[in-house]
Structure 1
């Protein structure tokens, strides 16, 4: 858990330490930058030892590219991983953990400037010195991004040599083969994507300084994680989607946790030096605590923020690692009887030790540091040094694990069925009533998203209640009903049969667009989070600031515009089902996840504009909302009837080649899907129309009550003035006569 901030100020803590005769020498404040290289050193040490002891890297009877390639490739992969997560950790710290400017009151001054000064004065005041740790983070991130690009290119070249069994060469024939590998083979495309992403990130990080620009740069760098998850050897095997998603979540957790720790070590001495100076941060307070009582040294604030990030990373890494290992082994007995299983156990043990050290940080060392207890300050940085050594060792084991064949075969058997080849899974049983409740195939990406959303909402609900605030239990229940339905749509029978039945796919689509968003929007998550999250006063953007920034951004103004929301909602159907996009979302794993995300967000925004209470830049009047609904209802009916009357099979290469032995023919099932689209589209639309009508009536009552209160206050002055105007006009007419 996140440590409870002490109400003792940093200055009083230092006073107690001084009175006890204890001081913190300057050279003992934090860790010097050179300690970040402990991570790759430990990683390479564990990598080479495990490869040598277990014989993982021995030459094979098949094509062998030689000793140089066999040993250089895992070394390059280890260094590549280090530079990649270093870039992500640096960007993450820059956008949300350390302030951009040295003045800790920058945010408050900026708000005041917006009202009191001219544009020229505001611009002059904003041109202030950047905070040294912020500059150091971006310089470190830029250097690591350049190294990441070079190492990604090395991994690409060495990986081709390893796969082809040919030593690296500079001949034109070898270059031509390498080009063909990049352009025609999936693994080559994915590795080339990583090279391109690294190069673009390296370019951006040199010039971008705005927090939104750095946020987008971080988001772009995450594409490399997707590429690695798709190209990892777990992308084959028995549960393709489960393997890819769990590996992607694992890599994300590593980037947040390990990358953040590397960034923390790199700036630790700089932020620790602020303990003795005036550069402290003031965190906002609520209730009876004042801002002064929450004042804390920079190092304490940075460590507290990172501890929350590390906890999330630890949970993500541990759970996703267990899931990924289970997908790639036939039984748990193979954990102890195979080299692969033994490496998994070793990696898990190191991860749990790291989690225990992190718990020690949060529960004891960081609070002790805030109290000014010098012994604990030294202990904290020592523990962090141990942590980075163990993280490096775990990273080295991970690369060794990636070069170890898992027990579950990764290639399709020679007698694989057509449905197995096309969808990655065997044909499910014919659906009867029971199968719609018993058939599950967990999409671990969406399971993780749903668990996170459930935890965040419940945390905010409890915090608001404890602070004496009010929040409807009905909205709480609505949110969790929406999450439950989302889990069923993404992991239940609809997801299973949606791969082989167009009709089930259509129900999945309509549920994501028309049913699930209604419950989620009624939960009003943004409003609840804004009530629960405390604003920061040091110029950094925490979760609350990022939410507000996104809500009021130009992008938000576009997508929540009622016309855009309606066109996007209706136009998505045509784009997905009447263009080659349908083949993309069915064939490719990224396309499938994109389809779910797009339909869910599209439906959420449409419902938010119509019936939501969360803040958005544009919300139309009630008459226009009803017009939007009527148009949507008619559009769904039109598209549904069009599908019912078609004789051409959509995505024929997919639904026409599955060899399904039960149910309707592919074309008849498509027509059933069109009728379901028509029917499912009507019911939620009518429910939303009723809700819009109720909200309209409630709004009219509120307006009327407001006028009534105004009349009571001013004695109906507006009506009297209106009548006096007519009397005056009448008197003028009388005088003219």
Structure 2
């Protein structure tokens, strides 16, 4: 069956229309567009803001989705697959056009946002001058202006880049704008500040890749030809992960904003229920997309007519499902935009009479720590928690894939990964995270666990080795997980930082750089700084441990003697750092630890000195374990060398020893002087 060429565009238009109808209906139902009793900005602002919001989100989604397709999914031609790669440049053009529309709409959104929060009509004579103050003096205005500038930059980047690496870099730039947008949501003023920002970012990014990826795929599908089936299958895998991210983050956001079951009966709660229902429908369509359409595309592509049938027959099924899915996605986006313009039943405002701890950290002060509270206290850090879940699922799937084809993977390596992930989850969301926010000593427990204990288990689980064996390779010029991983492992940057000497210097020296500069303060006061701290020290620990006793590939490992030397030098440095903290009379980040008003525990400076002792004490135990492991490895290496020489001697009659004796005899003969008669 022949599909009209205009159907992809009609499908996208249908999705946009569904989004606009949904946002108008939801705004009318919630009362978000009703005139204000005090300062009314006018009907244009009241109705235009939710409409502009949904259009901004849709265009940003298409830009990000297209870049993700170019980085991870689409063939680029060449290789053994016979792919011509025609869809790749078209996708970058789609990303550029979408980013350009996003930039224009973001500017409109900025203007309408100021009119809404100030209650000033667009026709007011002072609107322009006040808007200038808004974008230069007010944090929200600067953020919205920054998003607009990022959209404009993304438009230019998408036209300039020509490789998957460039597409990934451009996607990260777009993601930065989504992170900025997450900081302007309903819940940023609540006491669950970090959880609100992380959940909203995951929600925005997951939905953007899912919706925008499908929209971009619909626009370039006709250029894929025989590559349509593998491309749709790859996108479906990404969409499944996006579904999980959106579902989990949406549940967290809903719980924060509703505050309990009583909030479900409010207008906001009913809109949220409608969004959940539409999202469930969307998930069902995605499942059908994977089970039905992908299977049929593969069947037809494998048939005798191959590419001709794939471009003329089966895509009719694909287009129909895409059109329905885009319409539902548009409706979900419209309801979400209306929710963003509506007041939740629980006011997301800071406490009216905050404690010193709430003023400084944004959280209520936890009770005095006990052994039980260290084990049972929990404050979800959503990004690391979902990262732990993803690591477990992916690792176990890789092990299952190896066993399905008859290969074996050591059980102890799998157990090591599970233990490392569980410890990491507790360190980032458990007692160490709860008390590490208010006690320097607890923070050092968290830090030393991340940098010295978790990496040992992760390195012994050999995740890179497992991935290289389990992940399929691609032959159509695209970059899948295996290509990205091996490209990173064999890159110059990875080779430099994985060098044993560099890894040791980074492992030890970054502690000085972090704690004696403003980086420590940024990690305490900003969520991004907190995430970067976790990522850096965990990765630094992994590179160091892998250079000593790891299994994963890396630069040529030094001799066992040099490994022990590096290890003992690092141990000495940790001891020096701990002693420096113990003897210090200056409080690190005094405007944080010194202003919490704790009624329990030691004074801040004394607690910092305790943290120094913990650094010294905790640091020595993993180092001792690594030293023992290196020594055992050295012994086993010598034993393997001796056995190899014995086997060689048995095969050739100890020819090596005979040759050595002959060499000594020849040297003795040349040095002996003849006697004179």
User: TM tier, shorter chain?
Assistant: over 0.9
> 8 Å contact 2:30–2:342 — kept in the other structure?
no
CA distance in 2, matches of 1:214, 1:618: 32
1:518 CA displacement: 0.8
Out of 355, 363, 368, the position equivalent to 2:296 is: 368
Q: What is the 5 A alignment of 1:86-125? A: 86-101=62-77, 103-105=78-80
Counterpart position of 2:209: 256
Q: What is the 5 A alignment of 1:350-369? A: 350-369=278-297
1:379 to 2:317 alignment: yes
1:500 to 2:438 alignment: yes
Change (3 A) 1:136 1:416: same
Counterpart position of 1:211: 164
Counterpart position of 1:18: none
Q: Mean Cα displacement is larger for which, 690-699 or 679-688? A: 690-699
Counterpart position of 2:229: 300
> 8 Å contact 1:186–1:231 — kept in the other structure?
no
1:322 to 2:276 alignment: no
Out of 14, 23, 34, the position equivalent to 1:58 is: 34
1:143 to 2:97 alignment: yes
Give ranges in structure 1 of 5+ residues lacking alignment: 1-23, 108-128, 275-296
Aligned-partner SS, 1:222: helix
Change (3 A) 1:36 1:473: same
Give ranges in structure 2 of 5+ residues lacking alignment: 304-308
Q: Over the residues paired in the alignment, what is the CA RMSD in angstroms?
A: 2.3
Change (3 A) 1:212 1:106: farther
| Cα deviation 1:214-234 (Å, max 9, x = unaligned) | 222222221122111122122
1:608 to 2:546 alignment: yes
What is the count of residue pairs matched by the alignment?
665
1:379 CA displacement: 2.8
| Cα deviation 1:195-249 (Å, max 9, x = unaligned) | 2322332222111112222222222221122111122122222422221111111
> 8 Å contact 2:27–2:50 — kept in the other structure?
no
Aligned-partner SS, 1:371: helix
| Cα deviation 1:103-125 (Å, max 9, x = unaligned) | 35279xxxxxxxxxxxxxxxxxx
Change (3 A) 1:715 1:425: same
| Cα deviation 1:392-433 (Å, max 9, x = unaligned) | 111111110101111222111321212112111111111122
CA distance in 2, matches of 1:57, 1:548: 52
Change (3 A) 1:666 1:530: same
> 8 Å contact 2:65–2:212 — kept in the other structure?
yes
> 8 Å contact 1:30–1:268 — kept in the other structure?
no
| Cα deviation 1:288-338 (Å, max 9, x = unaligned) | xxxxxxxxx321111111111111111221121111101111212311x11
Change (3 A) 1:55 1:613: same
Counterpart position of 1:655: 593
1:34 CA displacement: 4.7
CA distance in 2, matches of 1:651, 1:187: 27
> 8 Å contact 1:499–1:586 — kept in the other structure?
yes
> 8 Å contact 1:149–1:199 — kept in the other structure?
yes
CA distance in 1, matches of 2:603, 2:137: 34
Out of 90, 94, 113, the position equivalent to 1:159 is: 113
Counterpart position of 1:278: none
Counterpart position of 2:194: 241
1:380 CA displacement: 3.1
> 8 Å contact 2:403–2:409 — kept in the other structure?
yes
1:496 CA displacement: 0.8
1:84 CA displacement: 1.1
Q: What is the 5 A alignment of 1:529-568? A: 529-568=467-506
Aligned-partner SS, 1:575: helix
CA distance in 2, matches of 1:170, 1:723: 103
Q: Mean Cα displacement is larger for which, 403-412 or 184-193? A: 184-193
CA distance in 1, matches of 2:596, 2:549: 41
Aligned-partner SS, 1:32: helix
Q: What is the 5 A alignment of 1:390-469? A: 390-469=328-407
1:222 to 2:169 alignment: no
| Cα deviation 1:81-110 (Å, max 9, x = unaligned) | 111111111111112212112x35279xxx
1:455 CA displacement: 0.2
Aligned-partner SS, 1:540: coil
Change (3 A) 1:376 1:560: same
CA distance in 1, matches of 2:353, 2:124: 40
CA distance in 1, matches of 2:550, 2:51: 52
CA distance in 2, matches of 1:255, 1:715: 70
